[in-house]
Each structure stands twice: as structure tokens, then as C-alpha cells.
A and B are shown apart, each in its own frame.
Chain A
Amino acid sequence: GDSVTQMEGPVTLSEEAFLTINCTYTATGYPSLFWYVQYPGEGLQLLLKATKADDKGSNKGFEATYRKETTSFHLEKGSVQVSDSAVYFCALSESGNTPLVFGKGTRLSVIA
């Protein structure tokens, strides 16, 4: 079945450092790919998405590119802030009719 594997945390960075959180997937078809973020005490919310190969999703300074050849969707940000401290989940959906399949999440802590 479909699955998502993302790098284990926690990840601790200093403010303004470069961030990469790796995510790879296994799917039978051509899924849509998502990054969700969960800030402390809040619900999961969509950070960015990409629906086909070579698409780049971006939001709040975060970016991720859908790489079909490496089945990857790595999350990057050039300069993290303390407010980016959260748990980040990579997820996929085979189609609009199927539920999201999530990775285990990566906790990011940014220190000033």
C-alpha cells in the first residue's frame, strides 16, 4: 500500500539556519503530495502541496518540489525562525477521493 517515510526528529536549529526535512513516498499511481504543520496546541494545517511531477509547492518561505524520479518531496526553508517550531508531516493522496496517508512527523525546534 501507499506509504510515506520522513526523517526522524527532533531537529534542532538556530534561528536563520537552513532547513531540510526529507520525505520519500511509495505509491501505485501518481499521488498528490502535501506538507502539513502542527504548531503547539493547534490542529494540523496545510503548509503546501504539489499535485504533479516537477511542481513546486511554496508557502511562508517553505518550499518542496515533487520529484517523481526519486519519489521525494523534501521540505526546505532558507532561514528558519523561532515561530517555525512545530511538527511537520509529509502526506500523500492517490486522488481526491482517497484519504491522506501521513508520515510519522518531524519535530522542529528553532532556538534564538
Chain B
Amino acid sequence: EAGVVQSPRYKIIEKKQPVAFWCNPISGHNTLYWYLQNLGQGPELLIRYENEEAVDDSQLPKDRFSAERLKGVDSTLKIQPAELGDSAVYLCASSPRRGTNTGELFFGEGSRLTVL
């Protein structure tokens, strides 16, 4: 079974440019998460989806970040415009349907963003 797939693995852009990250969760996983991981820190939740509905986006900086999960499968996280402080690893994770899981998340390899 394929795991969580993210792309691109690495992205280098200049500040003020836009950037987008894509995530394909494990088949059948209804819940999808985007986490931010700064260097030397643990992952921090940005947004959580149940199917196509964003149920927790309180930590998403909505002035420049946006996310979508059309059809409740793939998801895209966008930053526009990017700032120097956005340099980090953006992690996507998925988990099975609510009520059937024990809290375990399955993570992709992450997308490392460098803003110059």
C-alpha cells in the first residue's frame, strides 16, 4: 500500500513569490493534516480536514496561507506571498476515519521550503 505522497520534496524561492505543496493521503484515509516543522522543533498543526471540510484551521496564517482539499482526497497548501520566516518543512499526514483510529498519524516525507 502506498504511503502519503508529497511534492515537491524541495523548493527554493525568493521572498514574495508564491509556492504550493501537494499531498496525496493514504487511500481510504478521511482525515488529512498539514503540519509545519521549523528547524529543531516538533511539528505544529496548520490545518486538519475531515473529508473536504476544514475542521481545525485556527493555526493557519490566513493572510498568506490557504489550503484546499477538493473531493476529499488530495490537498494543496499555498503560500502567497512567501516570507523569509516561512522557510521550514511542510508535512502532510493522514489518518483513518474518525472514531476508528487510535490517534496514529501517517506522515509523508515532507516538503522543504527555502525562501531567499
User: Taking beta carbons and an 8 Å cutoff, which residues of A are in contact with B?
Assistant: 4, 32, 34, 36, 41-46, 49, 51, 89, 91, 93, 95-100, 102-105
Chain A residue contacts of B104, Cβ below 8 A: 34, 46, 49
User: Taking beta carbons and an 8 Å cutoff, which residues of B are in contact with A?
Assistant: 3-4, 33, 40-45, 48, 56, 91, 93, 98-110
Q: Given A49-B104, A103-B42, is A96 in contact with B99 using a C-beta cutoff of 8 Å?
A: yes
In whole angstroms, how far apart are the Cα atoms of A95 and B95 in the complex? Answer: 13
> Which listed residue (A41, A42, A95, A102) contacts B103, Cβ 8 A?
A95
The answer to whether B103 touches A32, judged by C-beta atoms less than 8 angstroms apart, is yes
Chain A residue contacts of B106, Cβ below 8 A: 46
The answer to whether A99 touches B99, judged by C-beta atoms less than 8 angstroms apart, is no
The answer to whether A104 touches B108, judged by C-beta atoms less than 8 angstroms apart, is no
Chain A residue contacts of B48, Cβ below 8 A: 99
Chain B residue contacts of A49, Cβ below 8 A: 102-104
- With both chains docked as a complex, state the minimum distance between the C-beta of A37 and any C-beta of chain B, in angstroms: 11
The answer to whether A43 touches B110, judged by C-beta atoms less than 8 angstroms apart, is yes
17 examples of A-B residue contacts, CB within 8 angstroms:
A4-B42, A32-B103, A34-B103, A36-B107, A43-B108, A43-B109, A49-B102, A51-B102, A96-B102, A98-B103, A99-B33, A100-B103, A100-B105, A102-B44, A104-B41, A105-B40, A105-B42
